[in-house]
Amino acid sequence: MDQRIFIKDWLELKPYDKQTITDIYYLRICNEVKRAIMSNKYSPVIEEYLNRKKIDMFSCFLTSYLEDLISDTGIFNAFANAHQRLYQKQIPFYDLDEYYEGEINHQDICFLIWYFLNTVQEEVFISPYNDFIVELAGAIMNTFDKAWENAPENEYLKSFYQIDENEEDYYVARRLIDNVLFKTYLFYPDTFLRLQKQEFKLIEYKMHDENILTFLNENRDNNLHDNYTRLLSLKGKEWVSELLGNNHLLSPGIFRSITKNNRILPV
How far is Cα 100 from Cα 103, in angstroms, rounded to an integer?
A: 6
How far is Cα 177 from Cα 183, in angstroms, rounded to an integer?
A: 9
How far is Cα 256 from Cα 267, in angstroms, rounded to an integer?
A: 9
**61 and 185 in contact (C-beta within 8 Å)?**
yes
How far is Cα 31 from Cα 113, in angstroms, rounded to an integer?
A: 17
pLDDT tens column, 41-63 = 999 999 999 999 999 999 999 99
Q: What is the maximum span of the chain, computed from C-alpha positions, in angstroms?
A: 58
112's enclosing H/E stretch is helix 106-120
Give Cβ neighbours of residue 235 (< 8 Å, ≥ 6 apart): 225, 226, 227, 228, 229
How far is Cα 61 from Cα 53, in angstroms, rounded to an integer?
A: 12
Read off the pTM: 0.89
**6 and 56 in contact (C-beta within 8 Å)?**
no
What ranges do the domains of the chain cover?
Answer: 7-155, 161-257
| pLDDT < 70 regions, the chain | 1-2, 246-267
Q: Residue 11: what pLDDT?
A: 96
Neighbours of 71 (CB within 10 A): 21
